[in-house]
Each structure stands twice: as C-alpha cells, then as structure tokens.
Amino acid sequence: MAKYSRVSGSVGLITLQNPPVNALSAAVRQGIVDTVERALSDPKVKSVVICGQNGIFCGGADIKEFGSNMSGPPLVPMIHAIEAANKPVVAAIEGSALGGGLELALGCHYRIAHSKARLGLPEVTLGLLPAAGGTQRLPRLIGVPAALDLITTGRHVTAAEALQLGVVDQVTDHSTVDAAVKFAQSVAGKPLDARRISTYPCPRPSDLDALFEGVMEKVRQSARGAIAPVACVQAVRAAATQPYTQGMEREKELMATLFTSGQARALQYCFFAQRAVSRWSMPNGARWDTSKPRPVHKAAVIGLGTMGRGITVALAQTGLSVIAVETQEKQLMEAKQAVSGMLERGAKRRGVAPALDRISYSRDIQAVADVDLVIEAVFEDMGLKKKVFQQLASICRPGTFLCTNTSALDVDHLASQTHNPELVVGMHFFAPAHVMKLLEVVYGPRSSPQAVATAMQLGKKMGKISVAVGNCPGFVGNRMLKPYMEQAFFLLEEGATPELVDRALEEFGFPMGVFRMSDLSGLDVGWRVRKGDGLSEPGAPSGQPARIRQGRRYSPLGDLLCEQGRFGQKTGRGWYQYNKPGSRVARSDPWLHSFLEGYRARHGLVARRIDNQEVLERCLYALINEGFRILEDGIAAGPEDIDMIYVFGYGWPRHRGGPMFYAGMVGLGKVLERLEHYHQAHPDVPYLKPCSLLWRLVASGSPPLHKWREVIKKLHSQL
C-alpha cells in the first residue's frame, strides 16, 4: 500500500503504508509502481517525494514473504523506473531506511534524512545481499572501501555519518517531509542526468586487487563459514570491474544462490526468533502480554567480582541509580577502579559522558534498603548465597525484587530463604556482563509473573536478549553444555586430541572449540561444580571403577588436569599450553598428549581414529538431545528460546540458526538414528539415549520447528 497525494500544488507525495516498518510487501511494491506512474503522468506534478508513514521510511523487503510465493512487482525494475523518471524524485528518510528501503532511496535522485534516522544494508545479516542494485549503486556513490564496509557488515549508520559518506544529500532536525517537499520544489525542472547513480562510473582504487584480497581474507576469517559476506564482496567487485548492467547480472546470480540457501533460512529464522523470545510464557499460563512489569529506577548489586562489576556497568549505562556493595575493603577499591575504567572506555566509544555518578559504593549491605531490585552476584556457593538472601529479606523494603546471578544453583531454594518467594527470580548474566547479549531470566515455581516481567523488561532496557526459562540444574544453557562437554572428554579417552575436537567445532562455526573455551573460562569452574555434585574425587570413590560415577560412564580427565594445577589460561597450562599465565595464544602441548596416552594405557583404552563427523555428531547431537529434554520438561517454552540462548550466549554460529533449528535442518530422523547408533555403542552414557520428545516428533512426521509446540503440548497433556 502506498498513499498518493498532491501537496504544495506541484509535488506528488507518495507515502509507504505497511505498519510497523513499511516493509516492501507485494502490496507496497504495487502501490509504489502505481503511484509513481500516476505522479509522472500528472502534468501538474513537477517533482515527487517518497516517504513512509509513522516516522519510518522503510525497513526493507518484507522478510515474512521470503520463502512464500513471491508475487507482485519485483524491486529492481521498480527502482529503475524511479531512477529513469524525468521528474526529480526525493526520498524523505525518517526512522530507518534499511535494505530494500535504502536501495529504493538510492534509486531516487535526492535523499534527505532526519538527524535521528539510521541507514544501512543489513541483508548480509539475513544471509542475503542487497540485490535491488545496492551492491552496484552504493560503491558508485560512496566509493568501494566504504561500500564494502557497509555491505559486508550490514551495520546501520547515523544520518550524520550517511551525510559524511555521501549517502544522503541533506540532514534536517525538523520535519523531513516538509524539507523534502521544499527541496523537491527547488529542483523541479533541473537536469537529472547527473543524479542517476547507476550511470556513475565506479571509482576504481589503484590497488584494486590488493584491496579486494585483503577484504576477502578479513571477511572469510570473521564469517566463520557464513557465505553471504563472501558473496557481498564478490558483488561489489563486479561493481568495481564491470559495467553497471553486467554488475547487476552478477548481483542477481549471487543472490539466487544465497536466497535459497540453508544459511539464509537460518539467519532469517534468528531474526524472528530473537524477537519471539520476548513474548515469554510460563507453564502456569502467565504470559508477557498479561503480566505488567514494575518500573525499576534504583537497583543494587551485591558482590563485586567479575560478574558483579559487569552487571553494575550494564545497569549504570542503562540510566539506573546503582548501589554497588562489596564487604571486603580491598575488593571494593579494586572494583571501583575497574568499574570506572569500564564505564569510561564504554562512554568514549559511544561518544557520551561516563555514568560514574550513577553508582554509589558501600561495604554495608544495609545500604540497599530502599532500592527497587537487587541482583546478588556473590561467589557461587549456596551457603553464602543463602545468607545473603536471608539478609536481603530483612533489609529491603517490602516489594523489592530479589534476583540472583547464579549460573547453576537452585533459584527456588534461594527464594525459600525469603518471606516473599514470589519476588525472587534468577538473572543469569554471561561474562563479561556489560558486553554479552544474553540474559537467562529464571523463574521458580513461586516466582510471580510480575517479577518475571520486571526482570525481562530490565534485561531489554540493558540491550540484552532476555529469555525466560524454568529452574533446573544449569537452567537451559549450562544444562545443555554438560552432555556436550562430556562427549568431548569421552572422545579424548577414545583417541582424539583437544586440537582435533576444537578444529571440528571451529570449522562448524563456533568461535572457539570446547577445550579452548574451557581453558579461557577456567577448568576449576567445572571442577568445583563436579565436586559439588559428588562426582570429582581423587581416585575412584568407594571401590567404583575410575571411569564410572553414580552408575554411569564418567571421564575424570578434567579433574586430573585440575589436580595438576592446570586451570587453563590463568595458570598458563590447561588443555593447551600458553607462553605465560594469562596469555591467550593456545599452543599444542606435548605433555598433554603423553598424559592422554598414559591415561589410555592405564585404563586399557585403545586409541582409534576419530573424524570430524563423529566429533560433531557426538558433541552436538548429545547437546540437542538435552535440548529436546528441556522442551519435554517445560523448562523452555519453545525451541526458539533454546536457540537464542545458544546463539547469544554460547557462540553457536548464527548462520546455523541454533541447535534446535539445526536439528530440523539435519532432519530429526537422522539425529534420532545417529543418537541411537551412538547409544548402542555407549549404553552407559544416558545423554546419548534419544529422549521421548524426539521419538514423538519423528513419529509425527518430523514437523517443521514452528509446529513443535503442538506436539509438546500433546505430550504434556498425556503425562
């Protein structure tokens, strides 16, 4: 839909109408074609302005239409017709001009933007490229290096940067449409030849080959197997080396490959899943749209270790007043310095003033008496956390939400230390808490919908992807990590090396394999948890074989390394060796290899050849199987929740959509068959036993992911 009107006597005003973002649906494209034709054929109209309704120009092609039968006029000829028009066409850009929206604007002869507008070609983030001439027009307009930056990263630029780059001609603080109409009147009748970007020669940097080789290398490294960024570079190269028409052909050809790719499906799924997780629900029927959050103006953080410092920074940057409590004087002074440093660096990056004065520090927990919400972030020890919760319950004024940043401990048990367990939820941040996008909001059986809604809203304000999940050991993310890591340990026992396992996972797209990641986060973290679970004891406990614990196969490899003081990067030794403690460059460690050989010999294990496929199937399918169990248990409301937790918190490659989406892509039948195969080979590993939901889904014909909830509902109703 596009509305047409004539304003100021001689300006045809075309308003795109498709809430909420005026996406270029078939109806909108048809509307543009019709209204442009009308404006061009009306002798009273001397110039044309295109704008969007409700303060947003256009959010690009309608992503919901991808994959369906795409009818309606195609974008490329529509934009060509605008560019070829014999009356000046001005784009009035408010809000956003993204993807096809910016391509439409690039087809116009002039672009005027509001100072608060954002512009960009984010198609790469959806597994695509700007295929409505964006890869050909943008480099002609702003040069190859700047176009490569925008197109391969998909980043949005401010109006000020767009003006500086030459993407827009004018920026206004006032009504963009009024400015555009005035401008359109002033250019009516003027020659347009110099305003048609497709006719511009593309600037050719002298070092063209070196430039493209360098960019391609950089893109390949950061893309971690994603194909769209590479195609974007190829399309811009065509702009720089071929005439416009041939460049357009190349753009179309590359888009055809991307458009039907699994990666594009995965990335577009992530786009919608990221938004879907904010529409949370709880097994008791409480939901996002019927639960009202309470405003939080003042918050407190208890415990200023690594996590507490990051949470303090995240809260202060959101504009809240924060009381940061640390009882140890030395820790408090160190924390104060560290927090100020983080705030100052963040503010410098964003060009704003650091929020130093929003934080007050105290050694006395009584200081939190009048806050709206407390986040406890003390050491991961149930005894200590219980004590803190008991104190908070007696100090805080009635109605204060009490949240814990535990990564695995029982939120309900902590809630039971207070008089108002309905006010308690988990807020599980990921390190570094001011940087990482994921927040697991953990509700217990007694958490009130309002407490969940408040934590979810606070997370959103902090710029987090907040996912509401139920309370169980490890919640969602860490619970699924357990079978994944367990398989990695077993693979070492059976003949793999950390390098082999990590390479397979990194080639899959993880930024770091399981062992490099474990070295980074510290091997002692898992050791402490296993000790707490009664698993890790030096030697075999009470007559059990060394590799059996609690009746199931167990690998003590991680414990043995910890017993040697090998805690990973911080000690300079772990699954790899490092130049010095704290160094980040992992090197293969001959000691570790002979240690593994000795271990296998001691336990009568014969090393066999393990390939990438086995590494991926065993590690990932075990993790996915646990994901299905989590859905079965109602700990996550839907597969999107699990996928977003893995994409935003655990480095799962976004172009593979998250573990549950990936299972659907591989085929649920295949995942089931391989799990069965591995479970038969390792009957003492319960994590490899396919769970009943997976069986049920396969028996129901492996429905697409958006239909899984129906199968889960049926399963629950039969339990």
Edge-first strand listing for the sheet containing 157-158:
96-98, 118-120, 157-158
Catalytic residue among 83, 94, 123, 486: 123
63 lies in the site for ligand L434P2JQ, by CB under 6 A? yes
Q: Are 124 and 152 in contact (CB under 8 A)?
A: yes
Least Å from the CB of residue 279 to ligand L434P2JQ: 8
20 lies in the site for ligand L434P2JQ, by CB under 6 A? yes
Which of 79, 90, 128, 427 forms a contact with ligand L434P2JQ (CB under 6 A)? 128
Q: Tell me the CB-side half-sphere exposure of residue 383, using CA atoms within 13 A.
A: 1
User: CA-CA distances (angstroms) from residue 214 to 211, 233, 535, 541?
Assistant: 5, 11, 50, 56
Over the window 502 to 521, marking each residue x when it contacts ligand L434P2JQ by CB under 6 A and - when it does not, the resulting string is --------------------
**CA–CA dist 286, 453 (Å, integer):** 10
Structure tokens that stand for 395 in this block:
């100090």
Secondary structure of residue 98 in the 3-state scheme:
strand
- Window contacting ligand L434P2JQ (CB under 6 A); options: 16-24, 335-343, 415-423, 543-551: 16-24
Q: Which residue, 29 or 385, has its beta carbon nearer to ligand L434P2JQ?
A: 29
The DSSP call for residue 414 is H
- Angle at the Cα of 387 from the Cα atoms of 304 and 328, rounded to 5 degrees: 35
For ligand L434P2JQ (CB under 6 A), the number of binding residues is 25
Least Å from the CB of residue 380 to ligand L434P2JQ: 34
- Window contacting ligand L434P2JQ (CB under 6 A); options: 253-261, 475-483, 515-523, 574-582: 253-261
State yes or no: cis peptide before 432, omega within 30 of 0. yes
**CA–CA dist 432, 508 (Å, integer):** 24
Which of 2, 13, 14, 21 forms a contact with ligand L434P2JQ (CB under 6 A)? 21
465 lies in the site for ligand L434P2JQ, by CB under 6 A? no
Least Å from the CB of residue 432 to ligand L434P2JQ: 24
Which of 12, 31, 52, 60 forms a contact with ligand L434P2JQ (CB under 6 A)? 60
Residues ≥6 apart with Cβ < 8 Å to 707: none
677 lies in the site for ligand L434P2JQ, by CB under 6 A? no
132 lies in the site for ligand L434P2JQ, by CB under 6 A? yes
Q: Which residue, 122 or 354, has its beta carbon nearer to ligand L434P2JQ?
A: 122
Give residue number: closest CB to ligand L434P2JQ. Answer: 99
Q: Which residue, 126 or 685, has its beta carbon nearer to ligand L434P2JQ?
A: 126
For residue 410, which amino acid is it?
D
- Give which of 124, 55, 50, 57 is closest to 81, Cα–Cα: 50
**CA–CA dist 408, 380 (Å, integer):** 9
Structure tokens that stand for 425 in this block:
């939820």
Residues ≥6 apart with Cβ < 8 Å to 679: 685, 688, 689, 690
Which of 84, 160, 208, 256 forms a contact with ligand L434P2JQ (CB under 6 A)? 256
Interaxial angle between packed helices 659-666 and 668-681, expressed in degrees from 0 to 180 and rounded to the nearest 10: 100
Least Å from the CB of residue 353 to ligand L434P2JQ: 25
571 lies in the site for ligand L434P2JQ, by CB under 6 A? no
Binding residues for ligand L434P2JQ restricted to 539-568, rule: CB under 6 A: none
**CA–CA dist 532, 400 (Å, integer):** 31
Other C-beta atoms closer than 10 Å to the C-beta of 605 total 16
Q: Which residue, 270 or 636, has its beta carbon nearer to ligand L434P2JQ?
A: 270
Residues ≥6 apart with Cβ < 8 Å to 704: 664
Q: Are 59 and 121 in contact (CB under 8 A)?
A: no
Q: Which residue, 1 or 211, has its beta carbon nearer to ligand L434P2JQ?
A: 1
Q: Which residue, 156 or 629, has its beta carbon nearer to ligand L434P2JQ?
A: 156
Residue with tokens 């629950």: 716
Least Å from the CB of residue 647 to ligand L434P2JQ: 16
Which of 52, 62, 452, 652 forms a contact with ligand L434P2JQ (CB under 6 A)? 62
Other C-beta atoms closer than 10 Å to the C-beta of 275 total 12
Least Å from the CB of residue 2 to ligand L434P2JQ: 16
Strands (E), 121-267: 157-158, 170-172
Q: Which residue, 78 or 359, has its beta carbon nearer to ligand L434P2JQ?
A: 78
Least Å from the CB of residue 126 to ligand L434P2JQ: 5
Handedness of CA 325, 328, 329, 331 (dihedral sign): negative
181 lies in the site for ligand L434P2JQ, by CB under 6 A? no
275 lies in the site for ligand L434P2JQ, by CB under 6 A? yes
Over the window 87 to 126, marking each residue x when it contacts ligand L434P2JQ by CB under 6 A and - when it does not, the resulting string is ---------x-xxx---------------------xx--x
Which of 48, 91, 131, 610 forms a contact with ligand L434P2JQ (CB under 6 A)? 131
**CA–CA dist 144, 202 (Å, integer):** 8
Secondary structure of residue 434 in the 3-state scheme:
coil
Residue 123 a catalytic site member: yes
Over the window 279 to 308, marking each residue x when it contacts ligand L434P2JQ by CB under 6 A and - when it does not, the resulting string is ------------------------------
Buried b vs exposed e over 193-205: b needs ≥16 C-beta within 10 Å? eebbbbeeebeee
Catalytic residue among 83, 94, 103, 617: 103
CA 62 to chain centre: 21
Least Å from the CB of residue 76 to ligand L434P2JQ: 7
Least Å from the CB of residue 574 to ligand L434P2JQ: 40
Structure tokens that stand for 141 in this block:
């307009």
Residues ≥6 apart with Cβ < 8 Å to 117: 57, 93, 94, 95, 96, 97, 158, 159, 162, 176
Dihedral of CA atoms 287, 291, 295, 299 in degrees, nearest 10, equals -50
641 lies in the site for ligand L434P2JQ, by CB under 6 A? no
Which of 59, 247, 639, 659 forms a contact with ligand L434P2JQ (CB under 6 A)? 59
For residue 711, which amino acid is it?
V
Q: Which residue, 106 or 255, has its beta carbon nearer to ligand L434P2JQ?
A: 255
Which of the residues are catalytic?
A: 103, 123
Residues that bind ligand L434P2JQ (CB under 6 A): 20-21, 23, 59-64, 75, 96, 98-100, 122-123, 126, 128, 131-132, 255-256, 259, 272, 275
